[in-house]
Amino acid sequence: MLAAIVAGVVVRCSRTRGAERGGLVIVVLAAAAAVATTACLAMPAREAVREREAFAVEVVADVSSSASVGKDGRLWFEAQSRSIESAKGTAAVSAPVRIGVEPAEGVDLGATIRVTGQMEATDPGERSAAVVFASEPEIVRPASGVFAVAAGARSAFIERATRLPEPGAGLLPGLAVGDTRAVSDALNDDMRTSGLSHLTAVSGANCAIVVAAAFWLVALCGGGRRLRVVVAALALAGFVVLVTPEPSVIRAAVMAGVAMFTVLLGRPSAGAGMLALCATGILVADPWLAATAGFALSVAASGALILLAPPLARGLARWMPQPLALAISVPLAAQLACGPIIALFAEQQSLVGIAANLLAAPAAPIATVIGLLACLAAPFPMLADLLAASAWLPAAWISVTATVSARLPLAQASLVPGIGSAVLVAVLSAALGIIVRGRRGTSGVGGRRGRWFSWTYRVAAVVLIVALSLGGAHLALQGPLAAMAAPSGWSIAACDVGQGDALLVRSEGEVALIDTGPEPGPLGDCLRSLGIDRIDLLVLTHFDLDHVGGADAVRGRVDAVLHGPVVEAEEQRILDGLGAGGAAVTEATAGMRGTLGASTWRVLWPLRESAVFPSGNDASVVMEVSGGGVPLSLYLGDLSAEAQRMLARNARLAGPYDVVKVAHHGSADQDPAIYETIRPAIAVFSAGIDNDYGHPRAETLDLLTAVGAHVLRTDRQGRILLGIDDGRIAVWTESDVGAPE
């Protein structure tokens, strides 16, 4: 009915002036109304789920997506609830929920499960109405039919692929069937940095590869255009079933299907209209996809390939052979269109994405197609092994490409996510697109329109020149010229890494780093600004994220590591990574001593095999450093007041100290007596701006001021440098905002 009304109105408008604009407005309003109607119809069920927030629940649900292991170690998947039982009673509710369970077998698409756990409502804009944190699931009914066959084929292929050597083994299931559970965190980060992460997700690229392979095979057999499209559609449908037809996969398949329909119609120019129609249909079916970055990126990338890639290829052809211009135009168009969207939520923009995609592009379809054949050949083990081994080589190439390109200087640029960054990236992308396209095509365009084209080109050139100049100056100051801007006499540095610790001690060219902050980026910037390439001694006081999260910034650049007690497997993995990079790893205990250049250090805490403080904040490594041009300094980690009292009773504190790194970023949990004993001349607080904890606390600042300490704070003054100048403590800070008199 709605379609008939819209069609009638559009026909009516076509007889009047401005028919195109009127018709477009009506279609847009009708689509918006349809989307709103779908959302309204789904609200009662979603509200019924939300009413059970914070309740212990028993949920019976049908699994509707593939499962992946999250950072918390749980197996996460989407499901459609059937019933929810809580203290409010049992209700038959059908709504999308996201469930996290202990790793278990049988959680496959199409299976019905029962879980017991805690339910938390999500924001209204999220696709899942609630998140359920559950224990081990009960399989009420296993997957059946084609879903069971697909699950078995995937499992057999993943087991076969992961028996192959690295690099490449863990990546192969992601390339072929979209299963990324075997991809390591390090490789996943490298894929993201190098702009290759779309290859491991089931994206439009994977679907396009399947479609292209089917087209080529039918064409090789002499089939016509219609037969090619039909076979490709069937191949795409089978691929969707194999990799699980969850919303993101269906979205990608629909986008790839746009190209097939334009070929069937014999009108490639209709691609934009077909894309708009498909995007509208997807939103009508599932309005919540409008709030997901994946949907926006899919539409933007597909639109860029249809509308932007051809003019970019023509522009690039002025400087290079046509085939190379076509190859470069595809990732360039996608990068220019997707960059502003990525800037809305990501803190980094890949600067090597185009080059990395060009290198990986030849290998991706080979790994995907042969990997799929290996998956389908599961009933024939010898053939499946041969195909998996053949697919391993291109997968290894992609893995190495991601790792090498991610390690290149300037592989990515850091941005603050948000509207401002998106606008900035959009302006730069538009300017680059205009310059690459060039003036070609404007010849013969005269009058006002010709002048507009000319001015647009000039403005784009100015924008790029200014951006390159500012970027080059920033890189020079952060790179080769960084060390020249820092004073040469520093011996202690408190890096500004946000809410976390990262302190450097230097004596006669040797450097110790005490903790690494929460992220690699800020620590890497600090090291570059001080001209430090290698760490002689790395001290990990304990394994909270704000103290070890930046360890990747120094992996492979450390000679020795001292660390606090290890409890969890993830903590051991951090140490194993540092050890693999060539560092000698040792657990620190009170009484250890050593030298750093001409200075000496000693460990004061934790006590060996302490049963009172076995791990965590109160088992933080506490160090004292003195001599060799280093002020007498004490680094208290994250000790609480109780642990501080034990430290004062068991260690021979050599106060008064010149410099003390105040415990736990200046939390309120401090022992006044220890600060009365050590009486620091300078108290350093390492904390982030506007952190949720209120660090440093006012009472702690008052405590240190009362014992005569000069307070220095990274949240107010940025990076802090300390040294000895003519027997006195010299202080250099990036800013004096909020500094005491």
- For residue 405, pLDDT beyond 60: yes
Give the pLDDT score at 630. Answer: 94
- For residue 741, pLDDT beyond 60: no
Backbone φ and ψ for 584, nearest 5 degrees, come out as -85, 120
- Structure-token pair, residue 48: 């019924």
Q: What is the pLDDT of residues 521-550, one digit of tens each?
A: 889 888 988 888 899 999 999 999 899 998
d(CA 356, CA 155): 30
- Whether the CB-CB separation of 514 and 602 falls below 8 Å is answered with no
Give the pLDDT score at 17. Answer: 46
How many angstroms separate the Cα of 107 from the Cα of each of 61, 152, 598?
A: 11, 12, 60
* CA-angle at 724, arms to 720 and 729, nearest 5°: 65
Place of tokens 């642990």: 643
d(CA 490, CA 484): 13
Backbone φ and ψ for 637, nearest 5 degrees, come out as 55, -135
Give the pLDDT score at 5. Answer: 37
- For residue 514, pLDDT beyond 90: yes
- pTM, two decimal places: 0.64
Q: What is the pLDDT of residues 696-739, one digit of tens each?
A: 999 999 999 999 999 999 988 989 999 998 888 999 987 754 44
- For residue 636, pLDDT beyond 90: yes
Q: Confidence class of residue 477 from pLDDT cuts 50, 70 and 90?
A: low
H or E segment and range at residue 492: strand 492-494
d(CA 741, CA 735): 14
Kindly report the three-state secondary structure assignment for every residue of 145-163. HHHHHHHHHHHHHHHHHCC
How many angstroms separate the Cα of 452 from the Cα of each of 426, 431, 437, 448?
A: 20, 15, 15, 6
d(CA 176, CA 157): 9
Give the pLDDT score at 503. Answer: 96
For residues 78-88, average pLDDT: 82
Least confident of 225-239, 489-503, 570-584: 225-239
- For residue 740, pLDDT beyond 50: no
Question: How many other C-beta atoms are found inside a 10 Å radius of the C-beta of residue 53?
Answer: 16
Within 13 Å of residue 105, how many CA atoms lie on the same side as its CB? 3
d(CA 3, CA 31): 10
CATH number belonging to the domain at 482-733, selected among 3.30.499.10, 3.60.15.10, 3.90.1150.10, 3.40.50.1970: 3.60.15.10
- For residue 233, pLDDT beyond 60: yes
Q: What percent of the chain has pLDDT over 70?
A: 86
- For residue 101, pLDDT beyond 50: yes
d(CA 295, CA 303): 12
For 510-539, give one letter per residue: b (16+ CB within 10 A) or e. bbbbbbbbbbbbbbbbbbbbbebeebbbbb
Q: What percent of the chain has pLDDT over 90?
A: 21
Q: Confidence class of residue 594 from pLDDT cuts 50, 70 and 90?
A: very high
For residues 415-426, average pLDDT: 81
Number of residues that this document lists for the chain: 741
Backbone φ and ψ for 551, nearest 5 degrees, come out as -60, -30
- For residue 7, pLDDT beyond 50: no
Quick check: do 51-143 and 482-733 share a fold?
Answer: no
User: Quick one: CA dihedral 574, 580, 582, 585, positive or negative?
Assistant: positive
Q: Return the higher-pLDDT residue of 356 and 565.
A: 565
Give the pLDDT score at 13. Answer: 42
Chain center to CA of 276? 29
Q: Confidence class of residue 360 from pLDDT cuts 50, 70 and 90?
A: confident
- For residue 439, pLDDT beyond 70: no
Query: Parallel, antiparallel, or unpaired for β 584-587 and 558-563?
Result: parallel
CATH number belonging to the domain at 51-143, selected among 2.40.50.120, 3.30.70.270, 2.40.30.10, 3.40.630.30: 2.40.50.120
- For residue 452, pLDDT beyond 60: yes
Q: Confidence class of residue 11 from pLDDT cuts 50, 70 and 90?
A: very low
Q: What is the pLDDT of residues 549-563, one digit of tens each?
A: 989 889 889 999 999
Q: What is the pLDDT of residues 657-698, one digit of tens each?
A: 999 999 999 999 999 999 999 999 999 999 988 777 888 999
Domain boundaries, the chain: 2-45, 51-143, 482-733
For residues 57-85, average pLDDT: 81
Q: Confidence class of residue 80 from pLDDT cuts 50, 70 and 90?
A: confident
d(CA 101, CA 97): 13
For residues 239-265, average pLDDT: 68
